[in-house]
Structure 1
Amino acid sequence: MSLLRIQQEVEEYLQKRILELLGGRPEEAGRFTILGSDINEIRHIFYYLRMNRAPVQVQYQLESYSAQVLSVEDTLATLSVPGFEETAFRRIKLRFSMMNTFYQFEVILSRVRGEEVTFQLPFYIQSATRRKYPRHPLQRAYLLFNTVYRPIFGTRGIGQIVEEKHRHLIAELKKDFPDLSLMLRIIADDLVSIAGDYQLQFYKPEQKKSLMETTISGEDKTLFIASTEDINSYIYKPETNLLVAYNREFKTMAAASSEEEAVKYFKELQLAEMRRHVYSYVCAPLHLFGKVIGHIYIETDLIHRKRIFADDAMRVGILADLLSYGMTKTVIARSYFAKPIAEIMNLSMAGVLFRVSSSTIYDYLIDHDLLKLKIPLTNEYLSFRGEITRMFSEGTRYHLALRFVDGADDDYRKLEQFLYADTRMRLRGKSRGPTGPLTELHE
């Protein structure tokens, strides 16, 4: 249990006991202005949410819902939460925006009647973040985005070596639209220098995978067989953690039947590969959005007896990872960076909240949170770079909150002018009288 929750429960318990001593009932706590509490302010906050029909984001265990306030009583408030499913858990988290302030509460459930959820108003404001810049909700506005390259293997050790040794590939990955044909030529030259020949294969959904393909798909690492003449190359793990052999499959077979049967199986595999004159081979997985979709395969033959070493195998794995990153970035560039399909929910001088409809893109951006944006305003694109600060989903809609970290001074000035004009237009519309319920989008 968090310290904040413990403090809240202690305060609520003591307030009830104080009122009992003064002759009041515990459920009447909200009727009084309790010195040192925020009950009146909190009650008026929820009055505001009800009158303006402002959306409230509800998190109940692992589920997220969008809700609205139906009623506010002395110590209770009721939400309309479409699709709400009650469990034994008795707490919910609320998030919403009001008057350019972002509030977060964790409250106790009182009762649930279908989609109507009633909870106890807290005595204290638990989290309120005053925003420096107001959020401007936009309608039918879209943006373009693409990932910004960050060193895949870090900036030290092997990461520094990769950045220096493969600088031509890295230069392509830093572009908005990598040249895959150039990358393939560079990678092909490296592979030929190691083994003389190579294969690049993509898997089909109905295709049955071989043991080699199943191994790299399951372990998501580069398979390395140093010598087909040595059975230990098959059944024992290589020294480095970046490479694998058939050691896991060997242990699984030995546990299911016996070690003798497992050794016999891999000796038959060894004999079959020697009959094909294979001496050493490497198989590195190719990914698209983190999912294995194919592999790069190289081998040497028994005639020339050119052995592939562990450093060569790791080099093949690195080339496969760089190509995988380039393919994934190309897919994003040709979709979300070429077509305005990411919808803007709200915009400010500090950042933007937008949503996408693809869970694949959403999951990929969890680990690739530095983005380049193009926002179409006033018949031109404004370019910014930003970091994802918050992500949440509502059904099949996936929201991403991004904070600007870089942009041209001229673009910031144009954005400020646009938001100022938008504010004036909204205020002018209010002065003529309300035309409908005011809706303030959450962050």
Structure 2
Amino acid sequence: MRVFKFGGASVKSAEAVKNMGSIIQAHDNGPLIIVVSAMGKTTNALERVLELREAGKDYQREWQAVKDYHGNIIQDLFSSDENETFLAIESLFGHAELILRQTFAEQGKAYDQFVPYGELISTTIIAGYLRQLQLKAEWIDARRYIKTDSVFKDAKVRWEVTEELLKLNLPTILKENIVVTQGFVASDLSDNTTTLAREGSDFSAAIFAHCLNADSVTIWKDVPGILNADPKRISDTAKFEAISYREAAEMTFYGASVIHPKTIKPLANKNIPLKVRSFERPGEKGTVIHLKGSEQPIPCFMFKDKQALMVIRVKDLSFVQEESLRKIFHILAEHRIRINLTQNTAVSVSVCADWDSVKFQKAKQDLEKDFEMETHTELSLVTVKNPTSNALKAALANKEAVLEQRTKSLCQFVVSES
């Protein structure tokens, strides 16, 4: 059994969906699960609609644009507007509109109930199109099978119950059908929709693969495989033919955007190969991540934008020692702040983390009981693995580092985004 994952760029238009259909037809030779993201930039668009609604502003123009975008794709893919896919999409948009009219008390719950409609809609369209190609495709709702805790926008998987549900239900479906399902989307034990954090569809594919002991996972991207740098930032890039799970995990942690950071561990635990291939050139091999990948000592460049730097000092000017560090990191963990870099001096702790205004404000309130704190935003974290002098020049691009850490094998710099 194999798992294929298609991201938003691979299904952003009717032509893109047709190309995906051709890839599926070429691989219709055994049990297959297809995990799909929202189409194109739909997640961004839905976030904008929700942002306007929560601010009490008119969101109808943006909402209509989302509906029109999908409507145009459907018209290009299907021959009749009486097609059952049209009716299913109309129903999904109707349900989404009902959610827009509701008020949710819990932080993030409105997001998790509304934004996943991007995935629910995209997979409904794709399952319908595959059936039009005479492929036996069955749409399933990932929320019925992937179970999590109740932390909205960044839920943690309940692995035992998820594996039990998947093993109980999917093998029978897979005997006769290609399964089409959503990335990013899950639910808690009370059936409230939850999400696996932004860009979490890769992780969804890994969850299905891990729980069902898949032979492989293939992520279809708009790049030829895993590169040593984002070609939009570094002009001279190289592709890896194979890398190890450990190397891939390290790269994703530091900011390599081609794979979601949580994807590697569940696959490595069962030695399931992860392939990254180009949907634009599906005949090419791409990159394989597995146990015996060769770790090539060439410079690798990773970038994380939307970072913030917290500088925390003890109020009474005493030294930062074990008790102070324990308090600081306990508070940051309590507010689920994602730490990417720390640096200590005798009297301060500097923490570079993913910027989230709500989380930072709550953490600041708790920290300021014992510490002084200043926050710097609009920053990026630049990481260079296997650095050379030329690689560091290319990575920094004449920007001055606000904070830096260097070892022989790894250099990290916090720099201004602009």
Higher fraction of helix = 2
Which structure ranks higher in relative contact order (CA pairs < 8 Å, sequence separation ≥ 6)?
Answer: 1
Q: Shorter-chain TM-score: which interval?
A: under 0.3
* Structure with the greater alpha carbon radius of gyration: 1
Higher fraction of strand = 1
